Chains A and B, each alone.
Chain A
Amino acid sequence: MRAMRWLIWPSAVLHLGFLALLGAAHYTGMKRISGWGPSDVLAPVPEKDIPKVLRNARQLQKRMEALRPKGVYIVIDTAENKLYLKNGEGVVREAVVSCGSGVILEEPGGKNRSWVFDTPRGEFTVKSKITNPYWVKPDWAFIEEGEPVPKKLDDRIEAGTLGDYALGFGDGYFIHGTLYTRLLGRNVTHGCVRVGDEDLKAVFKAVPLGAKIYIY
């Protein structure tokens, strides 16, 4: 019986201590939440300063608008594999595309070369517009197939793979056509953006050189 008491008392004290800590934690937490309000952050504005504040806000708004792309631009969602041709806020055309697979290719034979097949994200511009493009196969295309990397440029050239049009946006990345239309909507590429024939034609015709591309 005495041993039981020795067990019960410390555990009861511990329990009460824990409850007290929890109570204090909840109390302070609640106090902090109740103190949460935007009015705490900002001091009141004197009446005479209101026109100035309004003017500043308008100027900032104008500056923000000036940052937005002029004319037609492209937005690509790499997660959803969607391309949006936009003009201002409006979507002119929506297309299902294929973006990078995210796979890492490592070169065998201890050469320590590797490639990550991601579609680059960020703000780009259309740097080139090519009709009937041909593909100059990079090293990884041969390594992936387990073939030796050719020394002559002619052995790297492949026609028809990129479709009828290609829009280059730097570092060897293109928005181009595809032979594998059943894979549209999936992440399968080596970093380029593959688009179906009809959509590619429409995008190619609508977008001028220098147009902005946003890939996220």
Chain B
Amino acid sequence: MKHTPVMTLFLAASIAWAAPLRAQEPEDLLRNQATLASEYGLARAPNFYFVLDVSGKKLELRVRGMVLRSWPLSSMRFWGKPDFQGNVELKTKSALKTPERIVVRPSGGQEQEAPGEKGEGSEFDLEALELKDMPESFRLEFDNGFHVSVRSSTAASGGFFRRLWSSWNWYVGLPVRSFLSRGHNGSGAWLELVFEEKHDAQAIYWHFFEGINGIVR
């Protein structure tokens, strides 16, 4: 009998602790089901797709429900309409300096050379388009008007004018553009993803092709 007040207190605490969890549970279940259903729709086809887990801070390349590559986000920032979640298709991939393929004509010799071909640190130069030739900073435009800019953390420290331009664009250009296009459906959502490793941003450029489908959650 001595333990009765302690037990009552313990029970009350348990109920108080469990109540919000239980209230939250059905929504989580439904969300989980909706995510699974979206992914199952993509995984049924043999094509690659991506999952951008904003809250989990990671970007994943998947096929058949399997994770092929996962890139953890170093940081991110968002501007505009928050209703960009759901299934998306990559429409365009653009960079300030897009990598170019080398064209070889045996009679005339090499016509074009890929940028970054003679990059430092490489053991020897090759006539090839390699990961190191991919841009560290680029932009992805999706079919629902969702814009994602991807960069490595090293790409940000490009110099005073580049940082100035980046700040101007983020704090002035984007909000104004977003404000002016607020009436248009789906437009005006901007997400900037920053990856710690230089190779991560380059690998995303390599693996993400125009037309790839994905889920943003």
Contacts and interface: CB of A to CB of B under 8 A. Distances in A.
A206 to B, nearest CB: 18
Interface residues of B, number: 60
Interface stretch (A8-16, A99-107, A151-159, A161-169): A99-107
A75 B207 CA distance: 14
B129 A39 contact: no
Contact of A64 (B40, B102, B179): B40
B207 A50 contact: no
Given A28-B182, A102-B129, A75 B68 contact: yes
Contact of B26 (A28, A45, A80, A102): A45
A123 B63 CA distance: 9
A69 B66 CA distance: 9
B26, B33, B202: residue with the most chain A Cβ atoms closer than 10 Å: B33
A45 B30 contact: yes
A101 B126 contact: yes
B29 interface: yes
A53 interface: yes
A186 B26 contact: no
Contact of B29 (A35, A45, A187): A45
A38 interface: yes
Contact of B48 (A33, A36, A80, A121): A121
A102 B29 contact: no
Contacts of B104: 103-106, 144
Contacts of A35: 82
A79 B47 CA distance: 18
Interface stretch (B89-97, B105-113, B158-166): B105-113
Interface in A133-190: 143-146, 186-188
Contacts of B47: 122-123
Interface residues of A, number: 60
B72 interface: no
10 nearest A-B residue pairs (beta carbon) = A36-B82, A102-B129, A25-B179, A25-B175, A45-B26, A123-B46, A108-B107, A101-B128, A60-B36, A64-B65
Given A32-B80, A64-B43, A187-B128, A57 B33 contact: yes
B85 A41 contact: yes
B103 A39 contact: no
Interface string B21-40: 00001110111111011011
Contacts of B153: none
A145 B80 CA distance: 55
A24 interface: yes
Contacts of A121: 48, 209
B37 to A, nearest CB: 6
B176 A21 contact: yes
A93 interface: no
A188 B126 CA distance: 8
B69 interface: yes
A22 B175 contact: yes
